[in-house]
């Protein structure tokens, strides 16, 4: 199941039942788990640590050095979980001295030609659309969906269960559970379809909607809206997640 036309460095470690197609290039200091499938012309570079059942499509470059002029060759990693699908020409860069590693969770879909920059963290169950570009040190929480050609500024934070419209330019943090759309990108309501697909109850969705009405529709500053939520709303787990996200992003600010 390993093509004789592939190059695999003797120092690389491969798990059981892997399929390595012709012209794959795997460097030293690479660990690949069981049942992974790496297709022709893909490259897996030094510092990559990959779990099980990952599928890497043609031309992807996994574990490339950071596109950061401060990088001087330090020993860093790219850590990938299980059951990820990484489509054609995707690039996932390893970390720098800043965080030491780029981290990708499990069950994600990275569509054709998207890029994940150095020291970023991608959660579980995310979809990153065609040609979407994620800069360095970005955090993307679980079950976020970024449509095609989205641009995310460095140090940004994308909350869980969000849906971001294709072509959006994200230069502020995106709190959980919402849709971001329009040009310039802004809050455009709740990700109702996504929440229902993930099993959120009507009561949970109502609590989320009420919290965001305070934040986005009350015409007050965000800190005042958060104070009102704490005083007059039931603090469900979903509302607590919103509060924690917004308060932790006070300096950078959330999308308008």
210 belongs to the catalytic site: no
| 0.85 surpassed by pTM | yes
Element at 193 (helix H, strand E): helix 192-197
The domain of 109 spans: 7-140
We report the CATH number of the domain holding residue 114 as: 2.160.10.10
Do 39 and 106 belong together in one domain?
Answer: yes
Element at 169 (helix H, strand E): strand 169-170
Do 125 and 53 belong together in one domain?
Answer: yes
CB-facing half-sphere around the CA of 126: CA atoms within 13 A: 28
Please give the average per-residue pLDDT across 204-228, as a whole number. Answer: 93
What is the C-alpha to C-alpha distance for residues 215 and 125, in angstroms, rounded to an integer?
A: 27
pLDDT at 118 over 80: yes
DSSP sequence for 206-244: HHHHHHHHHHHTS-S-HHHHHHHHHHHS---HHHHHHHH
Average pLDDT, the chain: 96
Name the CA dihedral angle for 95, 99, 100, 101, rounded to a multiple of 10 degrees: -50
- pLDDT of 250 reads 53
Q: How confident is the model at residue 145 (pLDDT cuts 50, 70, 90)?
A: very high
- Both tokens assigned to 89: 């020409």
141 belongs to the catalytic site: no
Do 212 and 112 belong together in one domain?
Answer: no
118 belongs to the catalytic site: yes
The proportion of the chain whose per-residue pLDDT surpasses 70, expressed as a percent, equals 99
Considering the candidates 33, 51, 82, 118, report the single residue annotated as catalytic.
118
Do 110 and 232 belong together in one domain?
Answer: no
Considering the candidates 136, 156, 159, 194, report the single residue annotated as catalytic.
136
- pLDDT of 67 reads 97
- pLDDT of 91 reads 98
Cβ-contact 29, 44 below 8 angstroms: no
pLDDT at 80 over 60: yes
Please give the average per-residue pLDDT across 13-18, as a whole number. Answer: 98
Pairing label, strands 186-190, 85-86 = unpaired
Considering the candidates 119, 141, 142, 173, report the single residue annotated as catalytic.
119
């Amino acid at each position: 199941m390993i093509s004789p036309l592939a190059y695999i460095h003797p120092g690389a470690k491969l798990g059981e039942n892997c399929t390595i197609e012709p012209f794959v290039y795997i460097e030293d200091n690479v660990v690949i788990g069981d049942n992974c499938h790496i297709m022709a012309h893909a490259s897996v570079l030094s510092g990559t640590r990959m779990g099980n059942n990952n599928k890497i499509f043609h031309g992807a470059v996994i574990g490339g050095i950071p596109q950061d002029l401060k990088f001087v060759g330090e020993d860093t990693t790219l850590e990938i979980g299980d059951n990820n699908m990484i489509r054609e020409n995707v690039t996932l860069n390893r970390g720098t001295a800043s965080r030491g590693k780029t981290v990708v969770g499990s069950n994600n879909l990275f569509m054709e030609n998207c890029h994940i920059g150095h020291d970023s963290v991608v959660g579980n169950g995310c979809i990153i659309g065609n040609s979407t570009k994620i800069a360095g040190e970005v955090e993307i929480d679980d079950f976020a969906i970024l449509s095609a050609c989205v641009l995310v500024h460095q140090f940004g934070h994308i909350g869980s269960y969000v849906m971001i419209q294709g072509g959006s330019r994200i230069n502020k943090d995106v709190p959980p559970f919402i849709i971001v759309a329009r040009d310039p990108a802004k809050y455009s309501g709740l990700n109702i379809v996504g929440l229902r697909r993930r099993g959120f109850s009507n009561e949970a969705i109502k609590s989320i909607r009420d919290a965001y009405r305070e934040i986005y529709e009350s015409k007050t500053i965000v800190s005042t809206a958060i104070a009102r939520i704490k005083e007059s709303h039931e603090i469900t787990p979903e509302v607590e997640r919103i509060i924690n996200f917004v308060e932790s992003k006070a300096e950078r600010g959330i999308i308008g």
